[in-house]
Structure 1
């Protein structure tokens, strides 16, 4: 397995849990606009070494999730701003260009310091 992306959650916005019912998290780098930062998992912006594709694995805190769909600008936005939406809904088609869809799963708010990775099969 090859890790194509790795980062860490540095800080949790105060309202991150607001999207748990929608099985959704928003990632953003440290430069998140203040009106959005409260809803985001704030991460380090790091380079992506390869393509992010359906079937790859998204790992958060050691828990793997299969990627089911990749929006058109996920790679660009994640690599430049650290900003994408994670939806744990199992969708086969990305509804928005900046959304990474993952296998349907119940989710919990991760702790600051949690590692995030995207791994090739």
Structure 2
């Protein structure tokens, strides 16, 4: 697998789990505005090596999720702000520009220190 993106979780906002019931996780690089940070999974590294595409795999440590659709702003937002939303609903068409759509799955509980990455086979 070729690594497309990699970062490590460094902080969890107090309200991150509130979005789990909506099958969403919000990512933001450190320095997020305080009103947003409380809902975000914060990371510091932000290494996007190539544009993310449908068919790539999003990994949370050893858990893999197929990417089904990529919003039109995902790559730019991830590169510049480290900010995207992960949606675990299996959508084949991107409804929101800043959202990365993953296979329909339960939302995994994110932990400090976990590695988040995107890989291509």
Fold-level similarity (TM above 0.5): yes
2:104 maps to 1:98: no
Provide structure 2 residue ranges, at least 5 long, that are not aligned to the other structure.
Answer: none
Distance 2:96 2:66 in 1: 18
Question: Paired residue for 1:69?
Answer: 69
Tell me which stretches of 4 or more aligned residues in structure 1 moved more than 6 Å: none
SS at the partner of 2:8?
Answer: strand
SS at the partner of 1:28?
Answer: strand
Distance 1:86 1:25 in 2: 5
TM-score after normalising by structure 2: 0.97
Instruction: Write the deviation string for residues 76-106 of structure 1: whole angstroms up to 9, x where unpaired.
Output: 1111111000000000011111000000101
2:104 maps to 1:120: no
Distance 1:46 1:38 in 2: 19
Question: Paired residue for 1:48?
Answer: 48
How many equivalent pairs are there?
121
Distance 1:90 1:26 in 2: 17
Structure 1 position 29, deviation (Å): 0.5
TM-score after normalising by structure 1: 0.97
Distance 2:6 2:91 in 1: 23
Distance 1:61 1:14 in 2: 22
Distance 1:112 1:105 in 2: 21
